[in-house]
């Protein structure tokens, strides 16, 4: 059995080596240069740099982002100009890969011996309040990728991208056909920011339909968008109130489904820094009775309601192309290390509990 295992491992290594060789020969026979004119939508703001001649092998533990396929296709989306990275999830390559990329709550165990040239990048997409194992990586993390703008690789859940040329206004009544008032999809009923309490108080003064484990029951994923599109407002309440933590609840659940987001989470100034102008309503501005009164006013006034969609004439919401940014970054990153990644993350994404 040991001999067969040894042979199987050798075949796997040989196969991967052949794959890398083919990738290299077909795509990277010369040094490429990237300039800002090649930037794809949602990609990094590339500075002029020299691409590495050989492919960059990035090891991604299977539990960090299971939906992402191995290979190089993930780096080629949206016209990304950097094409010399390859992703692998095979444990055989964690010692030899140029880069190791893993998530904040991954149960991946780092190797005891590590090459001095190997780069470790941690992706932090949960708030500090919901991030676990960081103390396991003291003085080991080289770079961070997160929704916070102080990270080495900025990875927001969404981006507002202004048009280069303002679109000619075509009137759309975004209130038309919406029979529901406010909706919320929520699965975590116990959070430190008391979002459930706020929602229940709000529901005393207006209709709020709550779905998920904390409400009327779960909704199949394929039906989520159709459900939300039937409502005028979406409660984009985060599970913690932390700096710059603005998740898919805002960008995808609300804005992408043409529902006005009622937001709780990061400070209002953080939303204003990244969100489309006049696109949201922050709970910090209202107590539940006053918020309900304002939402009921918007429900009866289509003109005022549609003002929350005026931004669509000036820009659009896009997703960030993380893997393109990643491949760009690892070509020639400056050397650094986080001595205390746990303290850095808690201070950077500072959270505030609600009494």
Contact between residue 57 and residue 95 where contact means Cβ atoms under 8 Å apart: no
d(CA 107, CA 130): 15
| The pLDDT value given to residue 46 | 44
Q: Per-block average pLDDT, block size 10, for the chain (355 residues)? A: 48 48 40 33 44 84 80 84 90 91 82 87 95 91 97 97 85 96 95 95 98 88 93 98 98 98 98 98 98 99 98 94 92 91 96 71
Sign of CA dihedral 105, 106, 111, 114: negative
Quick one: CA torsion of 40, 46, 52, 56, rounded to 10 degrees?
-60
| The pLDDT value given to residue 50 | 60
- pLDDT by residue (tens digit) across 173-196? 999 999 999 999 999 999 999 999
Taking residue 88's Cβ as centre, other Cβ atoms within 10 Å add up to 19
Alpha carbon 32 to chain centroid, angstroms: 29
**Residue-range domains of the chain with CATH:** 2-155+320-348 (no CATH), 160-318 (3.40.50.11660)
- pLDDT by residue (tens digit) across 217-246? 888 888 999 999 999 999 999 999 999 999
What tokens does 227 get?
């459900």
| The pLDDT value given to residue 218 | 83
| The pLDDT value given to residue 40 | 33
């Amino acid at each position: 059995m040991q001999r067969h295992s040894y042979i199987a491992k050798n075949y796997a290594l040989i196969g991967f080596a052949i794959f890398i060789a083919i990738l290299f020969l077909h795509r990277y026979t010369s040094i490429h240069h990237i300039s800002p004119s090649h930037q794809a939508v949602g990609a990094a703001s590339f500075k002029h740099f020299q691409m590495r001649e050989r492919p960059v092998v990035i090891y991604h533990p299977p539990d960090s982002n299971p939906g992402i396929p191995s290979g190089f296709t993930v780096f080629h989306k949206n016209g990304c100009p950097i094409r010399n990275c390859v992703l692998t999830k095979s444990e055989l390559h964690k010692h030899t890969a140029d880069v190791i990329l893993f998530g904040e709550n991954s149960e991946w165990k780092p190797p005891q011996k590590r090459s001095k040239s190997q780069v470790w990048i941690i992706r932090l997409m949960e708030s500090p309040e919901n991030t676990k194992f960081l103390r396991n990586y003291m003085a080991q993390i080289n770079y961070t990728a997160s929704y916070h703008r102080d990270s080495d690789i900025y990875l927001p859940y969404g981006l507002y991208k202004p048009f280069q040329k303002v679109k000619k206004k075509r009137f759309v009544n975004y209130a038309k056909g919406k029979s529901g008032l406010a909706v919320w999809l929520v699965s975590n009923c116990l959070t430190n920011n008391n979002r459930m309490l706020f929602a229940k108080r709000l529901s005393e003064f207006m209709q709020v339909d709550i779905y998920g484990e904390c409400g009327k029951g779960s909704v199949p994923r394929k039906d989520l968008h159709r459900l939300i599109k039937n409502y005028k407002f979406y409660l984009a309440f985060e599970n913690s109130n932390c700096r710059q933590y603005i998740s898919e609840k805002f960008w995808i659940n609300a804005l992408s489904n043409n529902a006005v987001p009622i937001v709780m989470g990061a400070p209002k100034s953080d939303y204003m820094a990244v969100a489309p102008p006049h696109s949201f309503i922050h709970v910090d501005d209202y107590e539940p009775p006053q918020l309900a009164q304002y939402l009921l006013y918007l429900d009866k006034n289509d003109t005022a309601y549609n003002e929350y969609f005026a931004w669509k004439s000036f820009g659009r919401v896009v997703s960030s192309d993380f893997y393109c940014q990643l491949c760009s970054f690892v070509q020639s990153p400056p050397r650094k290390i986080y001595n205390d990644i746990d303290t850095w993350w808690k201070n950077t994404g500072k959270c505030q509990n609600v009494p």
